[in-house]
């Protein structure tokens, strides 16, 4: 499978990146993990947004889903008249009113088919989930195809079961929203060192550090994560691709 970083900025868009969004492709199937604000712009450099086959929203904080609003517009109103079938959107149900609220409560049935998060198969991908430690319902996702595995932490504070969930992944896409040594609130984000420790505990082959807010130094976050991991570590950047 191939991973393309559509957006990797945490909390709000950066000058050089949209918020969280990742395109995962295998055998022509296009799975998008999160669609944060600004992501629809970069996504068009890679695919026609009408050609997304499934969308997984890890949680309903704005930096992970807000570009669902312009996505509905593109899928409904593109002037060439090609209207795709409703897009399956896997999203937590307790806070789903945030989405419908953004559309003034109007029906979205013509563009989206909402499904509650669950272990499932999406095209060629076997999907398994674990609830993370975050203020709203949030799921990390394990994506498997052709004996290869990608794990995306979504947003999460540290909890030990996450290492078992990510065990043996070929690529771990781990958030590092917090810097080490700061007065960080618990149950919200991983520090860079925790992201590296997670990669080490899970024995992953490769770590990609993401979800660094623009007010932090992403290079430093990647260096700290790499030091804690001791294995191949990359910093997620807009448009970067990884063959998993
Ligand atoms: Zn969040």
Can you tell me which residue has the tokens 């998008």?
Answer: 32
Mean pLDDT of the chain: 96
Q: How far is the CA of 59 from the centre of ligand 1 (A)?
A: 7
Mind giving me the DSSP string for 71-118? HHHHHHH-TT---PPPEEEE--STTTHHHHHHTTT---TTTEEEE---
Confidence at 122, pLDDT banded by 50, 70, 90: very high
Q: How far is the CA of 94 from the centre of ligand 1 (A)?
A: 15
Contact (Cβ atoms closer than 8 angstroms) between residue 10 and residue 63: yes
Q: How far is the CA of 61 from the centre of ligand 1 (A)?
A: 5
Q: How far is the CA of 226 from the centre of ligand 1 (A)?
A: 23
Is the pLDDT assigned to residue 94 strictly greater than 90? no
Q: How far is the CA of 155 from the centre of ligand 1 (A)?
A: 5
The predicted-structure confidence for 194-211, as pLDDT tens digits, reads as follows: 999 999 999 999 999 999
In 10 A of CB 241, how many CB atoms?
12
Q: What is the largest CA-CA distance in the chain?
A: 53
Q: How far is the CA of 63 from the centre of ligand 1 (A)?
A: 7
Q: How far is the CA of 72 from the centre of ligand 1 (A)?
A: 22
The predicted-structure confidence for 146-165, as pLDDT tens digits, reads as follows: 999 999 999 999 999 999 99
Q: How far is the CA of 77 from the centre of ligand 1 (A)?
A: 30
Give the dihedral of Cα atoms 107, 113, 114, 120; nearest 10 deg.
180
**Rounded to whole angstroms, what are the CA distances from 171 to 100, 183, 196, 206, 241?**
34, 29, 13, 5, 12
Q: How far is the CA of 64 from the centre of ligand 1 (A)?
A: 7
Q: How far is the CA of 78 from the centre of ligand 1 (A)?
A: 31
- The helix-helix angle for 218-229 and 192-201 (nearest 10°) equals 30
Q: How far is the CA of 134 from the centre of ligand 1 (A)?
A: 7
Q: How far is the CA of 221 from the centre of ligand 1 (A)?
A: 18
Q: How far is the CA of 25 from the centre of ligand 1 (A)?
A: 24
Is the pLDDT assigned to residue 217 strictly greater than 90? yes
């Amino acid at each position: 499978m191939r991973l393309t970083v559509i957006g990797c900025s945490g909390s709000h868009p950066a000058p050089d990146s949209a918020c969280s969004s990742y395109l995962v492709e295998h055998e022509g199937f296009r799975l998008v993990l999160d669609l944060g604000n600004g992501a629809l712009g970069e996504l068009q450099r890679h695919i026609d947004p009408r050609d997304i086959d499934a969308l997984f929203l890890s949680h309903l904080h704005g930096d992970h889903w807000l570009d669902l609003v312009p996505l509905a517009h593109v899928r409904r109103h593109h002037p060439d008249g090609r209207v795709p079938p409703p897009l399956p959107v896997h999203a937590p149900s307790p806070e789903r009113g945030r989405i419908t609220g953004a559309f003034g409560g109007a029906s979205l049935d013509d563009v989206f088919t909402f499904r509650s998060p669950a272990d499932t198969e999406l095209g060629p991908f076997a999907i398994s989930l674990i609830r993370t430690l975050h203020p709203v319902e949030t799921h990390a996702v394990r994506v498997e195809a052709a004996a290869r595995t990608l794990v995306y932490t979504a947003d999460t504070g540290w909890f030990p079961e996450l290492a078992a969930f990510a065990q043996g992944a070929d690529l771990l896409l781990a958030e590092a929203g917090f810097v080490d040594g700061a007065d960080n609130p618990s149950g919200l984000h991983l520090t860079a060192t925790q992201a590296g420790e997670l990669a080490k505990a899970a024995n992953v082959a490769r770590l990609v550090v993401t979800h660094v807010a623009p007010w932090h130094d992403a290079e430093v976050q990647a260096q700290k994560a790499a030091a804690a991991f001791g294995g191949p570590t990359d910093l997620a950047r807009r448009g970067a691709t990884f063959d998993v």
